[in-house]
Chains A and B, each alone.
Chain A
């Protein structure tokens, strides 16, 4: 679904074709025909968003090959990113004959240059194996240069002058200069010498000091500023400051000509005059009737623009001067490192990315080889041409210059040029006209993506200093609707008028869209919706809120640069290996890989010396060891010792392989993390340390961590998820389209307000110094281009939406609004003399105002579809917008979809009842008609929920309380049960969420099966309840559906057997079988709050609530497992009782288990099960038979500690999915007879049976 790939275009209304069949010839629309037919040597196509850029390019290629007999070998396509190259390659393959498609060259700029340079390496004096220095390599080289040379300068801006900070700073400088194509020689030539800059710096110091003394609030006249004499004194101080400026100018005038006549000095001298004018204006602006004016002197001349009173000011006359001169001084020094960096590349015969392109360009300019190269192609196509930078532009023009070189089709969208900050040149498309003699310019404006309402919002928007193309929806008459009663297309929300935060507004909107609750917008699915934001921090805030509402989302890229827990453990393990003092990392490894108990960890910590010593020396002999479980520590010790040996022996890649084999760390990783492991392996293979033999070193671990955290997705494009709400930045969204797009944070505050603009624009100030077109860098407005780019970013954002566009924003008040004492931007602005071209607000868009104006205009044309929905959002919180909406398989099911919506509504209702305390006894539900008449909500029938265990397990407190979810721990009874059974398993299942052991082929994975069968049966039972199925046949039907939907037909026999057993099940003292007992509720969620000693709530689901023919209210739990549970062990049931006491008015008489597992058939009464009648599959217990509440609490408290105690080996080990950990004694191995069980004859018999059944190993 990319706008540049073929997929979108094949589904476009005009290019409709079934991608699976042979593609029909594409039918050009609008100006596309002109592009295809043009015979100019150089064509630049400015193609708007959604106008089929790539399709048009493909059509021209196809036309050339089919109609004009161009040999596919002669076609070259260049793109920016690898993704784009891949999608073009795919599209070409789809449309052309395979051999023709394969003959076309598709490259990225870098891969193209790399191949050229490699081919001509000998000619260029390079080794064909030459290296390309990556960003990482550049930084390493810079660090080395700084270490090896004495550059004789001090950097005072970085705080402590530490080497790492300085490296970062110089590295960034070199990167910036290189992108701008500014070489060290130019800097050397154009910048004044250090001495000159230092002398100018002295003026800055004088001015700063005087402003600090006299113009700040240290001056009482300005601090109080409420009497006439204060005004007088303040004005005097300004006069004195003006005198100092005069003095500075005199100093320049009297200086030697060499200094005086330097361009920069002259500019500074003129700027002092401007500042004097500004002082005069400020003097006049001061007024005790207007108290905020007292802020002017300290802001404008002291650059004090932090704090509430002056934070509307982002740039000041003095700040501009100070940052300009300070950065030039640094640049002057950094240029020396930059020069050495270039030299180092040359002597080491390597190139960086920019140099790679320049080298290739030189080849094309070299008459000896140019013809040979350019003769290979007759047609060159460049995609996304607005993103070419200076060096790439030169490459392309060289490649296609003149009649004897290939023709060029450059296609791009000037309105979507959003990489200016990386040095790209949006005007490239236009400049081609100057570069080529035979040039034709064509614009594409017919849009195949969005509704006209959406296009008009962007068409009518005032983009500041630039014009933009006018986009038209294909086949739509302006001003008319496509259908009667059209849905809303463009919806606006005034964020500041809604009483809660922007992320909350977004999440609520998403929730309502998913529920179909949004007025006049049809219900949307997860895949339809994208939230597109300006900054990563916005994405994270929105994601957090969606997460709180349990709405599945995916944030593109790693906004926080965080490393997932499992990979973190891997890094920690490496860290512990290379650094014996890395105690914290070793602790993690012990805790999360070796599962050393907290008590034992405490003991290890309490020994003297570092933790690694304690691990190495502690006595691990069973019997004498001070540890409660020495085995894990012994294992950890053994692994650590082995790995430390291997580390020095093996090269990196092999070491990592051995590491994985030995530690089996993968089993503690999620499936996602396992794929990350591949990335680690790739990194290991590519890692090229300076040493000859790469071994595991601290530097490697640092580099690996950096890479895993890092910004590897610089050109990163987001992705369109099928089952999540996508959250991404505009830059990531470029090239994608979504049915419904939400754009929050549309406000200057979030887009262009910066604390100190001049400081942030230091690079631009420097570039302006070198640029001949800029007369005075100090006075020029350098923000125009960046503001223009911000507008284009907005354009990209607006044009992502196909059907529905939501705009959330607010005005940013540059005047300070009602806040007392705040200095309005306009007052400060009025003090600036005319000669100053920049604004005190730095960059300013008035984004929301402009967008709102456009919105109003479009609303006039389309009053039915363009609406303000602020009120709907403002009041929507009254109904719960917090739901779980996991409909993952919707649309893929071959069977009738279950009615998720109804389930959701029921859950909502239940939630409301929980909250309002009107949930009545479930028993009353039988006579719900009466109760309903009383206006009391009761749970009636339910529709089945979605299918998987995940889908139904969501914490009910999202509904019942407004507060956030407890992050740390929730306790479900299943986790508690696991804990009782085996603490280690609990840890793996519920805390670490370790994946199960890999299934061994052929063994049928009995343990996993048993659990799967259990959960399938539960799902069937739930559906049966919801659909009021009472017969065996209907249950089997439901089972068939469930099995098919999950592709688990293989398990049909076992599930159906469970159903049979359920229909046979009866209790000892009740005549009717259990299936005839009146069902009142199924999968009933509960939440026990404030269990003493337990943090977080205890949550769970009650399988079934029923009324026996005798009228007893009973709670039942289905057991698909083998073992009968004694009443004194039935803590779980006690928990249910307690929950029911809270949920219902009527008291539950008995609780019990219904055994539907296969082993149940063989239970006989002779095994000491307290004489219960084993013919009955239902065990019912009274309250008195159950264990004491304190024992349940004990268990809960134990679970609450996210530690894990010992393993407790036993019969459950047979079914444990973590057997690979080796904690299960051999006698419980699957396939062995169960005669070693310690749980008595009954269990022994069961194990034996299971053993027989699974004994095919």
Chain B
């Protein structure tokens, strides 16, 4: 990375760095194109994301009205979109799946979140509360270097609810969260997994969940910053992930040409929250994760992209789906290693 380029760190990138520092270098520093296009799931997600955010922006709080607004908006977006399918039937089907997703969203969260938005807006003045990709940023202090670095993250909108401020993020699926989906506290499994991931002597390699925890730290800090900036009092911040491209709950009735689906969600706040830190700060924080965040950010700032001792884990887990193995010095070295 050359000096003239501004330092742009994102929470997404941290996860890439956890998967493999070298991959981070290729993707984020050198910005090498990888072979993969956006997977279809991502593109579909964007359509739904946009439609839902636009519907929330209308300010309607009634579920039916919200659904109508979202579906209308979706219709426009869909007709502007050009994606090849092998048949019109397939295209119709894909559209029905997305519409079902939007309906499922409204059913599960719509009215509650629209209400929470309205409540917040009353306090927030002109501040922007709805994205898509509402930018947040967290200032990470790097004590050893006596400097700070901004790490960006985004949620799709924020809602209030009594004494809380919740950032909602649409994701394709919850699969990358791994075990975090099934746990509701930090102490125990999660803390162990987090520590083991960074221990090169342990076999544990969980960049997905660990990255999600780092991201949670960034998002919650970003939300606190937003809260203070908009003067929203002392609400506690929470972070919710909603999957919009997960088809495991989808059923198709070909006779009635209907599609139904339902949405799960994961609130990462509880699994992130460490009660000791909470006791000290009365904020939803986790000192362990935040320290580690600073450490990882520091490494990126220092351009430390050698996989080092973690290479064994990385090569076992990350190389398989990495588009950069083809030009990665570590990977090729391992292919032509002396004692192959």
- A and B associate in one complex: yes
Residue of A nearest to B303 (CB): A602
Q: Does A605 contact B (CB under 8 A)?
A: yes
Which chain A residues border B40 with CB–CB below 8 Å?
160-162
Most chain-B CB neighbours within 10 Å: which of A146, A199, A205, A967?
A967
Interface residues of A in 579-608 (CB under 8 A from B): 581-588, 591-592, 598, 605-606
Residue of A nearest to B251 (CB): A205
Q: Does B126 contact A (CB under 8 A)?
A: no
**Whole-angstrom distance from the CB of A756 to the nearest CB of chain B?**
14
Residue of A nearest to B26 (CB): A584
Which chain B residues border A598 with CB–CB below 8 Å?
329
Interface residue stretch chosen among B52-60, B87-95, B104-112, B275-283 = B87-95
Whether the Cβ atoms of B87 and A583 lie closer than 8 Å is no
Which chain A residues border B34 with CB–CB below 8 Å?
584
Interface residue stretch chosen among A49-57, A393-401, A676-684, A990-998 = A990-998
Other than the given A160-B94, A1202-B332, 10 more pairs (CB < 8 A) read A152-B88, A156-B93, A565-B336, A583-B32, A605-B31, A606-B5, A964-B312, A965-B339, A970-B339, A972-B338
Which chain B residues border A990 with CB–CB below 8 Å?
338
Q: Does A198 contact B (CB under 8 A)?
A: yes
Query: What 0/1 readout, one digit per residue, does chain A (131-173) give for beta carbons within 8 Å of chain B?
Result: 0000000000000001100111111100111110010000000
Distance A583 CA – B335 CA, assembled complex (angstroms): 21
Whether the Cβ atoms of B326 and A583 lie closer than 8 Å is no
Distance A1203 CA – B332 CA, assembled complex (angstroms): 11
Whether the Cβ atoms of B86 and A147 lie closer than 8 Å is yes
Q: Which of A150, A159, A201, A205 interacts with B247 by CB under 8 Å?
A: A159
Distance A815 CA – B40 CA, assembled complex (angstroms): 41
Whether the Cβ atoms of A584 and B324 lie closer than 8 Å is yes
Whether the Cβ atoms of A968 and B339 lie closer than 8 Å is no
Whether the Cβ atoms of B327 and A151 lie closer than 8 Å is no
The 3 closest A-B pairs by CB, nearest first: A154-B93, A587-B327, A605-B30
Distance A14 CA – B253 CA, assembled complex (angstroms): 69
Which chain A residues border B336 with CB–CB below 8 Å?
565, 991-993
A572-B327, A584-B35, A587-B32 are known contacts. Are A153 and B5 too (CB-CB below 8 A)? no
A162-B40, A329-B254, A606-B2 are known contacts. Are A152 and B89 too (CB-CB below 8 A)? yes
Residue of B nearest to A969 (CB): B333
| Number of A interface residues in the complex (CB < 8 A) | 61
Distance A605 CA – B84 CA, assembled complex (angstroms): 34
Query: What 0/1 readout, one digit per residue, does chain A (164-200) give for beta carbons within 8 Å of chain B?
Result: 0010000000000000000000000000000000110
Which chain B residues border A1095 with CB–CB below 8 Å?
308-309, 311
Whether the Cβ atoms of B89 and A954 lie closer than 8 Å is no
Q: Which of B93, B94, B251, B337 interacts with A968 by CB under 8 Å?
A: B337
Q: Which of B2, B93, B337 interacts with A967 by CB under 8 Å?
A: B337
**Whole-angstrom distance from the CB of B327 to the nearest CB of chain A?**
4
Query: What 0/1 readout, one digit per residue, does chain B (70-89) give for beta carbons within 8 Å of chain A?
Result: 00000000000000111111
Q: Which of A208, A584, A968 interacts with B327 by CB under 8 Å?
A: A584
Q: Which of B39, B93, B247, B327 interacts with A591 by CB under 8 Å?
A: B327
Distance A208 CA – B260 CA, assembled complex (angstroms): 13
Which chain B residues border A591 with CB–CB below 8 Å?
327, 329, 332
Whether the Cβ atoms of B32 and A201 lie closer than 8 Å is no
A583-B33, A591-B329, A967-B312 are known contacts. Are A160 and B88 too (CB-CB below 8 A)? no
Distance A324 CA – B333 CA, assembled complex (angstroms): 49
Which chain A residues border B323 with CB–CB below 8 Å?
584
Which chain A residues border B8 with CB–CB below 8 Å?
none
Q: Does A209 contact B (CB under 8 A)?
A: yes
Residue of A nearest to B312 (CB): A967
**Whole-angstrom distance from the CB of A140 to the nearest CB of chain B?**
15
28 residue pairs bridging A and B, Cβ less than 8 Å apart = A147-B86, A151-B87, A152-B87, A153-B87, A154-B87, A154-B92, A154-B94, A156-B252, A160-B41, A160-B44, A161-B90, A161-B93, A163-B84, A163-B85, A198-B254, A201-B255, A209-B251, A564-B335, A582-B35, A584-B32, A585-B327, A587-B30, A598-B329, A605-B32, A611-B32, A968-B311, A970-B339, A993-B336
Whether the Cβ atoms of A166 and B247 lie closer than 8 Å is no
Q: Does B196 contact A (CB under 8 A)?
A: no
Which chain A residues border B85 with CB–CB below 8 Å?
161, 163
Q: Which of A202, A205, A611, A970 interacts with B338 by CB under 8 Å?
A: A970
Whether the Cβ atoms of B90 and A198 lie closer than 8 Å is no
Most chain-A CB neighbours within 10 Å: which of B323, B324, B329?
B329
Distance A964 CA – B339 CA, assembled complex (angstroms): 12
Interface residues of B (CB under 8 A from A): 1-2, 5, 26, 29-35, 39-41, 44, 84-90, 92-94, 97, 247, 250-256, 308-309, 311-312, 315, 323-324, 326-327, 329-330, 332-340
Distance A1188 CA – B221 CA, assembled complex (angstroms): 50
Residue of A nearest to B92 (CB): A154
Distance A547 CA – B338 CA, assembled complex (angstroms): 12
**Whole-angstrom distance from the CB of A978 to the nearest CB of chain B?**
13
Distance A150 CA – B327 CA, assembled complex (angstroms): 41
A153-B89, A568-B326 are known contacts. Are A991 and B333 too (CB-CB below 8 A)? yes
Q: Does A447 contact B (CB under 8 A)?
A: no
Most chain-A CB neighbours within 10 Å: which of B31, B39, B247, B309?
B31
**Whole-angstrom distance from the CB of B75 to the nearest CB of chain A?**
19
Query: What 0/1 readout, one digit per residue, does chain A (540-575) give for beta carbons within 8 Å of chain B?
Result: 000000010010000000000000110010001000
A572-B327, A605-B30 are known contacts. Are A955 and B254 too (CB-CB below 8 A)? no
Distance A52 CA – B247 CA, assembled complex (angstroms): 56
Whether the Cβ atoms of A202 and B2 lie closer than 8 Å is no
Distance A964 CA – B316 CA, assembled complex (angstroms): 13
**Whole-angstrom distance from the CB of A864 to the nearest CB of chain B?**
41
**Whole-angstrom distance from the CB of B224 to the nearest CB of chain A?**
35
Which chain B residues border A153 with CB–CB below 8 Å?
87, 89-90
**Whole-angstrom distance from the CB of A102 to the nearest CB of chain B?**
45
Which chain B residues border A1202 with CB–CB below 8 Å?
329-330, 332-333
Q: Does A610 contact B (CB under 8 A)?
A: yes
Query: What 0/1 readout, one digit per residue, does chain A (483-498) give for beta carbons within 8 Å of chain B?
Result: 0000000000000000
Distance A990 CA – B338 CA, assembled complex (angstroms): 7
Residue of B nearest to A160 (CB): B40
Which chain B residues border A587 with CB–CB below 8 Å?
30, 32, 327
Distance A277 CA – B323 CA, assembled complex (angstroms): 53
Which chain A residues border B327 with CB–CB below 8 Å?
572, 584-588, 591
Which chain B residues border A965 with CB–CB below 8 Å?
339
**Whole-angstrom distance from the CB of A174 to the nearest CB of chain B?**
15
Distance A274 CA – B309 CA, assembled complex (angstroms): 59
Q: Which of B253, B254, B256, B326 interacts with A585 by CB under 8 Å?
A: B326
Query: What 0/1 readout, one digit per residue, does chain A (1097-1114) give for beta carbons within 8 Å of chain B?
Result: 000000000000000000
A565-B335, A606-B1, A991-B336 are known contacts. Are A588 and B255 too (CB-CB below 8 A)? no
Whether the Cβ atoms of B255 and A198 lie closer than 8 Å is yes
Which chain A residues border B89 with CB–CB below 8 Å?
150-154
Most chain-A CB neighbours within 10 Å: which of B5, B309, B334?
B334
Which chain A residues border B88 with CB–CB below 8 Å?
150, 152
Residue of B nearest to A1099 (CB): B338
Distance A130 CA – B237 CA, assembled complex (angstroms): 71
Which chain B residues border A152 with CB–CB below 8 Å?
87-89
Distance A588 CA – B254 CA, assembled complex (angstroms): 49
Which chain A residues border B32 with CB–CB below 8 Å?
583-584, 587, 605, 611
Residue of A nearest to B306 (CB): A1095
Whether the Cβ atoms of A968 and B326 lie closer than 8 Å is no
Residue of B nearest to A161 (CB): B90
Which chain B residues border A610 with CB–CB below 8 Å?
33
Distance A761 CA – B327 CA, assembled complex (angstroms): 41
Q: Which of A154, A205, A581, A955 interacts with B339 by CB under 8 Å?
A: A955
Distance A583 CA – B254 CA, assembled complex (angstroms): 45
**Whole-angstrom distance from the CB of B120 to the nearest CB of chain A?**
33
Which chain A residues border B338 with CB–CB below 8 Å?
969-970, 972, 975, 990
A329-B254, A591-B327, A1202-B329 are known contacts. Are A605 and B29 too (CB-CB below 8 A)? yes
Distance A583 CA – B31 CA, assembled complex (angstroms): 9
Which chain A residues border B30 with CB–CB below 8 Å?
583, 587, 605-606, 611
